[in-house]
Structure 1
Amino acid sequence: MIFGRVKSLDAILATAEKKSLTRTLGPIQLTLLGVGAIIGTGIFVLTSEAAQKAGPGMMWSFVIAGLVCAVAALCYSELASMVPVSGSAYTYTYAVMGELLAWMVGWALILEYAVAASAVSVGWSGYFVGLLANAGIELPLWLTVGTYAPGGFINLPALVIALLVTLLLMIGTTESARVNAVLVAIKVTALTMFIVLTLPMMKGQNFDPFLPNGWFGNGGATGLGAVGAAASIFFAYVGFDAVSTAAEETKNPQRNVPIGLIGSLGICTIFYLLVAAGAIGTVGAQPIVGAAGEVIQPGTTVFAAQCQSLLAAGNEPLVCSKEALAFVLREIGYPWFGNLIGLAAFLALPSVILIMLFGQTRIFFVMARDGLLPQKLSAIHPRWKTPHIVTMITGVAVAIFAAFLPVGKLADISNSGTLFAFFMVAIAVLVLRRTQPARHRPFRTPFIWIVAPLTILGTVGLFFNLPLESQLVLPVWGGIGLVVYFLYGYRKSHVGQGIVEVHEDDPDAPPPPVPPAPSFS
């Protein structure tokens, strides 16, 4: 029976010890990985998208999305500390609710990470093109945006950066983490500079009206209003779960994974609210409307055409900018600092692409290790010690998506997969509390019977406030996943064949991991 194919937590841990990735990441590196994944396109680029959907009310959008992420983080922390292996929500679901649902979660995580990496690549492209424009180099429109915009064809910069980051990640985890640490420092410094320059110049009138589109889009327009913007801006937070996918490469994961999850989420939430307030208070964030006074969905052809008309008239608003924070500083008389912010985004956003690809490839790695995908995908490079084959495949797919789709659409599609995974994690925590109450939990989610239901309600609520087309992507993608599962994974599954461990002489196994330090929790 499909739902009876449950892989015990003990078997998961035993398998990971037989064929695992090298444990190299400590608590500081892990927190930096979290901050690097979280702070990125959401605040550097999606500020414009959120402003179009909610106006100044996007302040509430950050709060709503942050609260949902906070309760999800607590659920993640308990499971990640109990099951310190690669696979994130996929692994947890396998241990609690069986193979079929685990496959669906893993398939949704593929949607999350791969599409998210594409979205960040497009965001980086906007800042790169802006920097060149301010240096007097104008790239033709057809080379910088996809076919969704009038005159667009391919986003070449986004395609190139996705492929370059893929190459870096193939070289090795430790090398990638070192580069990431430097880029996170650049990012945090840039945002701090933005806050210091903008907060003293805020004007109260720029916050009025505060909710021009209401909470739900004034008349029920899907994906608009403060809650609709929260469903999109949720993308700004989702990187934190990449920390849990790195659990198998973390020293003393029982202690360090919760530190990385909760610490990175707290740091980033404070930054988001301060940066959003500075952007709104200085230049305003009112949405643009169509001929009949209707609010236009960002990322559409109509929206792109309206923005091109305003730009031609010399009146580009914040909602149209592809480099929101640099745009704000240039508008308030700090063009030099604006260019520095653009340079910081140019240097730092690749770290977000790196972490999204990192999470994606590790999900593929553990699914292949379980036999649900071809074993060749879990092959470890003899020199780099990374799953190089799946990294290369994922990177090419990410580059193709980035080349042709707008950042907002990509973010919303990614969110649909993320919200489903978070929903399943919350259920898994509750089920495990009932079925295995005596199991050791290095980190226990406080008030679990309040926190987990809030996670479930929050994820469902945000999902149904995504644009309709983004909602529909999840069931369509899920249907494709079911076909793949029954054609391959169901027959090849290790659990289905009664295999619960990987043998010591596995030719793909990397060297044994360094034993983790004792837990202090």
Structure 2
Amino acid sequence: MAFNFFGRIKPLDAILATAEKKALTRSLGPIQLTLLGVGAIIGTGIFVLTSEAAQKAGPGMMWSFVIAGLVCAVAALCYSELASMVPVSGSAYTYTYAVMGELLAWMVGWALILEYAVAASAVSVGWSGYFVGLLANAGITLPTALTIGGYAPGGFINLPALLIALLVTMLLMIGTSESAKVNAVLVAIKVTALTIFIILTIPMMQGQNFDPFLPNGWFGESRGFGAVGAAASIFFAYVGFDAVSTAAEETKNPQRNVPIGLIGSLAICTVFYLLVAAGAIGTVGAQPIVDAAGNVLAPGSTEFATQCQALLSAGHEPLVCSHEALAFVLRTIGYPAFGNAIGIAAFLALPSVILIMLFGQTRIFFVMARDGLLPEKLATIHPKWKTPHIVTAITGVAVSVFAAFLPVGKLADISNSGTLFAFLMVALAVLILRKTDPGRHRPFRTPLVWIVAPLAIIGCLGLFYNLPFEAKMVLPIWGGIGLFLYYAYGYRKSHVGRGSIEVHEVDADAPPQPVPPIKD
């Protein structure tokens, strides 16, 4: 019996039956899943947010990667158990529906929509920084008004970010299998680029560049700074593994392959992050910039952008100001050709991260519409492309608009607020399901679950608390909009609420079967 304190529960067996009737094609194996995870994880977090983290924590961002990685690791173990038990689209939304009821499931799904859409926007802005940098090194300087949002002096719209988001949306609409093949090539490009970066920078590290190691302390003078505040932002660099869970419905032998994809991709990326961060700090330094009064400036703020422009005009550009951090490091230490190569790698590979984020978001939309909580027209599969093309198009337009006007750091923080809420609910669901349904087959069992899951919950709460105030406030506002939509539409149209469930493929032509009355 499920733990029902928020209304309607959709039984796990019904969720699995629905997936069988309207399932997406199972075509992804363990290597493809791991590449999917690496492709989603390695991206803006390390290529771009390195400079954001340096402004918040200085060299102490090394600890930030460790803290964020540990929280993500315990969350990944919880995800692995539920994803192997319930190999369907929907990720944390589906798990919450089965364990804690429809209202919380809606809220989690709504938070995931925020996570993926805003994350895709953040990566689009990150890609734009490398694209503009490559053009500048080739002697082509684009107007500031067309390459940066209005938060910076002279900025108006980030046109490259807008265009890449729309381009990737079109690719994703054509089909998942084509997208997965493209992704595999781009993952190889990213890993090669980061490996070259590590080989060139590690031997040139200088100890004095790590001193002071924690210029802003562990927590900073204001929320969002220090090593822990930077960890709350840099958590964005790890969240791609959730896309692996979201792709469970399209995975062959998910009971075995989903945990491999989740944990394997996380382990590979953590090693890369620490080595790349060490190389960047040790070669060019990573001290924050301050205003005239000695106060550390918030990255993405107008004051920060103004100070960076002043330093650039004076012939000095610190790492924290760079929009293409890794390419900047290599050019600074005397490897301009390799710096340009890193820029080209990011130019080619970051779109794969946008693709994975859009992939995950549209699948959340897809499964919520399939449950009747959103208009079922949104779940329509294109007859030729075999993809949910309507929600993909809607999502792509929204993502491109966000990317056009907001800075990457703020987008990452907003995305994290939705992510941390979803991860917390997954950890809670694992514990509840261990109590309410202990006999269900678990192909992957979270080790030391009564230690690991509470650590995931505490970690998510701690990182959320250390996000900047504006980013934290987006979640309740977005949640309020979601609650209004749920009671205006989803509550009345829900399949479970109307007393019907979907059935297996063999009975697809039969009407939905009645279930016992549900007490709200």
TM-score range, shorter chain: over 0.9
SS in 1 for 2:500: coil
Question: Separation in 1 of the partners of 2:410 and 2:506?
Answer: 45
Q: Does 1:101 align with 2:95?
A: no
Partner Cα separation in structure 2 for residue 344 and residue 266 of structure 1:
22
CA distance in 2: counterparts of 1:59 and 1:100, whole angstroms: 39
User: Which of 187, 192, 203 is the aligned partner of 1:189?
Assistant: 192
Counterpart-to-counterpart distance in 2, 1:505 and 1:92: 25
CA distance, structure 1, for counterparts of residue 5 and residue 264 of structure 2: 38
Give the equivalent residue in structure 2 for 1:135.
138
The question of whether the paired residues in 1 share the 8 Å contact of 2:55 and 2:320 is answered with: yes
* Alignment partner, residue 94 of structure 2: 91
Q: 1:490 to 1:2 in 2, by over 3 A?
A: farther
Q: Structure 1 residues 71 and 54, CA, compared in 2 at 3 Å: closer, same or farther?
A: same
Tell me the equivalent position of 1:15. Answer: 18
Structure 2 matches for 1:431-510, cutoff 5 A?
Answer: 431-501=432-502
Q: Does 1:116 align with 2:102?
A: no
Contact 2:283–2:329 (Cα < 8 Å) also in 1: yes
TM-score (norm 1): 0.96
Separation in 2, partners of 1:500, 1:299: 47
Correspondence for 2:512: none
Question: What stretches of structure 2 of length at least 5 have no aligned partner?
Answer: 510-520
1:47-86 equivalent positions in 2, closer than 5 A = 47-86=50-89
Aligned counterparts, 1:316-465, within 5 A: 316-465=317-466
Identity value in percent? 85
1:175 is the counterpart of 2:143: no
Residue 99 of structure 1 deviates from its aligned partner by: 0.1
In structure 2, C-alpha distance between the alignment counterparts of 1:279 and 1:502, rounded to whole Å? 54
Conserved 8 A contact 2:20-2:504: no
Deviations along 1:147-182, one digit per CA (max 9) or x if unpaired, are 110110000000000000000000000000000000
- Paired residues of 2:21 and 2:505 also in contact (CA < 8 A): yes
Offset of residue 499 of structure 1:
1.3
Q: In 2, Cα distance between the equivalents of 1:486 and 1:2? A: 17
User: 1:503 deviation in Å?
Assistant: 7.3
Helix, strand or coil for the counterpart of 1:293?
A: coil
Match of 1:513 in 2: none
Q: Which secondary structure does the structure 1 equivalent of 2:252 belong to?
A: coil
Q: Which residue of 1 aligns with 2:263?
A: 262
* Uncovered stretches (5+) of structure 1, i.e. residues with no partner: 509-521
Q: 3-state SS of the aligned residue for 1:4?
A: coil
Note the 1:274-293 alignment, pairs <5 A. 274-293=275-294
Shift of 1:506: 10
Query: What CA distance in whole angstroms lies between the structure 1 residues aligned with 2:506 and 2:118?
Result: 36
Choose from 202, 208, 211 the match for 1:208. 211
Structure 1 residues 243 and 282 mapped into 2: Cα distance closer, same or farther (>3 Å)? Answer: same
How much has 1:500 moved relative to structure 2?
A: 1.2
Tell me, in whole angstroms, the C-alpha distance in 1 between the residues paired with 2:484 and 2:314.
51
SS of residue paired to 1:383? coil
Q: For 1:175, give the aligned amino acid.
A: E
**RMSD between aligned residues:** 1.2
Once the two structures are TM-superposed, the CA of residue 41 in structure 1 deviates from its matched residue by 0.1
CA contact (8 A) 1:144 1:154 kept: yes
Is 1:147–1:154's contact at 8 Å kept on the other side of the alignment? yes
C-alpha deviations, 1:179-208, integer Å up to 9, x for none? Answer: 000000000000000000000000000000
Alpha-carbon separation, structure 2, partners of 1:502 and 1:180: 34
User: In structure 1, what is the Cα distance between the partners aligned to 2:506 and 2:400?
Assistant: 36
- The corresponding residue for 2:516 is none
Distance 1:182 1:198 in 2: 25
SS of 1:179's partner is helix
Runs of 4+ in 1 over 6 A off after TM superposition: 505-508
| Structure 2: distance between partners of 1:164 and 1:172 | 14
What displacement does 1:498 show? 1.0
